[in-house]
Amino acid sequence: MNVMAPRPAVSHAEMANAIRFLAVDAVEKAKSGHPGMPMGMADVATVLFTKFLKFDPQAAHWPDRDRFVLSAGHGSMLLYALLHLTGYPDMTIEEIKRFRQLGSKTAGHPEYGHALGIETTAGPLGQGLATSVGMAIAEKALAARYPGLVDHHTFVIAGDGCLMEGVSHEAIDLAGCLGLAKLIVLWDDNQITIDGSTALSTHLDQRARFAAAGWHTIAVDGHDPVAVEAAIDEAKRQDRPTMIACRTVIGFGAPNKQGTEATHGAPLGAAEVEAARANLGWTAPPFEIPADILAAWRAAGTRSRAARLAWEDRLKANQDRAQFEAAISGDLPASFAERFAAYKADLVAKAPNVASRKSSEMALEVINAAIETTLGGSADLTHSNLTITKGLKSLTAGDFSGRYVRYGIREFGMSTAMNGIALHGGFIPYGGTFFVFSDYARGGIRLSALMGLRVIYVLTHDSIGLGEDGPTHQPVEHLAMLRATPNLHVFRPCDAVETAECWELALGSKDAPSALVLSRQNLPTVRTSSAVNESGRGAYVLSADEGARDVTVLATGSEVAIAIEAAKTLRAAGKRVAVVSMPSWDLFEAQSPEYRAEVLGTAPRIAIEAAARLGWDRWIGERGVFIGMKGFGASAPAPELYRHFGITADAIVEAANALTA
């Protein structure tokens, strides 16, 4: 009898080629995409997913899983191929075939929430790497609280573009300072960008840069699986973060295009696809994975299942289980609402005359005492933003038991790190800077909104009211910029009560970030009741006379007090006036048309805000008047600036008289 010899075990090369050709075929079918990076990093990714990464596709949200971040998001088919091959239930071959098509889970760049296993939205280069720092911060801080339940790594694949972007410097410096040993970055060192060789635009020694920031660094041949395995094993034994420089060939296997920019952002073309198949010995038709190779990949997907089940047993037996699960869920303590309601009532009774940044600090004293999962911070403006409260200890490399992050002068890095903290779970991040520097944080704020994350931005010194620092520090166009961002709650409260209400709304917003825009100058308390969170409706009538209105004055923040002063003068002259506070345009827009019409009324409207006009015409209409900034500010004491730029009660009175003449 003839006995057929058993087929040899599936090789590393075969498993890596499964990634390559899923990527190649998907890009070819879509006639769009980036095949070069998945082809070049397939060997590295195969080693990582089959030998190191702790994950379970059947429990994709397992809290103690390793996090994998594809910072080089243009190579999204690398991630989608890995998710399909390892058995994530929603990443079917049909989804792979629908790459870059409307409604598919396989968007052009990975999008958080579209499919299981996508840990963050990536695409704007550098942000994935920077977000991973936040994930590693959250892991280390949770591990300090729950040592038996939290012990995992964050792995990142980053490209040359990620390392060229400035946010990478902010991120790696912070990671090195905090000693984030469980952060491992695999750099796709292929020396190619869209324009061609990296030598066209950089001669930077990246390993030296990471080393200078306090990282351990290793260099390997990215196509040598034994070397890659040894490097990752070495990285996991370090007491500091590690960068592994993986020298690869972009488009590996495409005989006529590999190693060139031609493979970066365009399909290979039918002829080159066939040549690559022949070159790598891949005979399977498009979108088909030989059964034994797929079985080997699916086995890799179950490799950590026993570890996950053992972890679940530990969780059941852990005395801190309820506290841990509450932290991961992100729910606020049941007692918080009552405690905060009492605080707001006390504000009404005491009517403090304080800056809204101070009101924010006062609210945070209550919040941080009641909610143990807040994780605060500031971009080196702690005592200007007033973001730290009594008893909040700073995180340091040797002690992560605290709840305050010293982000340094890194606004962009702070915003992206907070995204990572929110994505990881276990904490509610908030961080402060001057409002004008939201420009620097803009990229991270946008991804907070795009991913629907509860990240809270404390943005102080909100207008020309900051005074002598001058126009470089006086935000003018920034409210319009943030208000134009979808799924971002922008709050500009007028007093201590509204500030507390806005904090309450931000904490309750699990699916959208919030920006609290706060004053430097003192503001009187104008609210006389806290029974209803009026800020939750976006805008409301703060005061109004009986009968038909002669004029409606709309205002936000520090200008509400000016509107109230003008109303007194107008009422003394026999005018019927309504003053409307508008702390949140987006929440007001979400109200019913009937409510909006009731608040706005039919009388002529005047809007006053120490900012640019853009956007106000939707609320004041064709007959309306806007009182605000027409250009940049100036350096002078705040009261002088308000008079100089005509943002005064007298200006409102003059406009109202003209409208009602």
Residues classed as catalytic: 411
State the amino acid at position 144 in one-letter form: A
- The CA distances from residue 583 to 5, 433, 482, 541, in Å, are 75, 20, 13, 12
Torsion of CA 55, 58, 61, 65, to 10 degrees: -10
Neighbours of 147 (CB within 10 A): 10
Taking the C-alpha atoms of residue 317 and residue 300, their distance in angstroms, rounded to an integer, is 28
Taking the C-alpha atoms of residue 347 and residue 268, their distance in angstroms, rounded to an integer, is 65
**Strands (E) located in 238-306:** 242-247
Neighbours of 209 (CB within 10 A): 17
State the amino acid at position 328 in one-letter form: I
Taking the C-alpha atoms of residue 246 and residue 40, their distance in angstroms, rounded to an integer, is 10
Q: What is the DSSP annotation of 526-564? A: -----SS-GGGGS-EEEEE-SSS-SEEEEE-TTHHHHHH
Tell me the pairing of strands 192-193 and 196-197.
antiparallel
Q: Around 453, how many Cα atoms within 13 Å sit in the side-chain half-sphere?
A: 33
- For 354, the 3-state DSSP assignment is strand
Q: Residue 186 in contact with residue 75, Cβ under 8 Å?
A: no
Report how many helices (DSSP H) and strands (DSSP E) the chain contains, helices first. Answer: 26, 20
- For 216, the 3-state DSSP assignment is strand
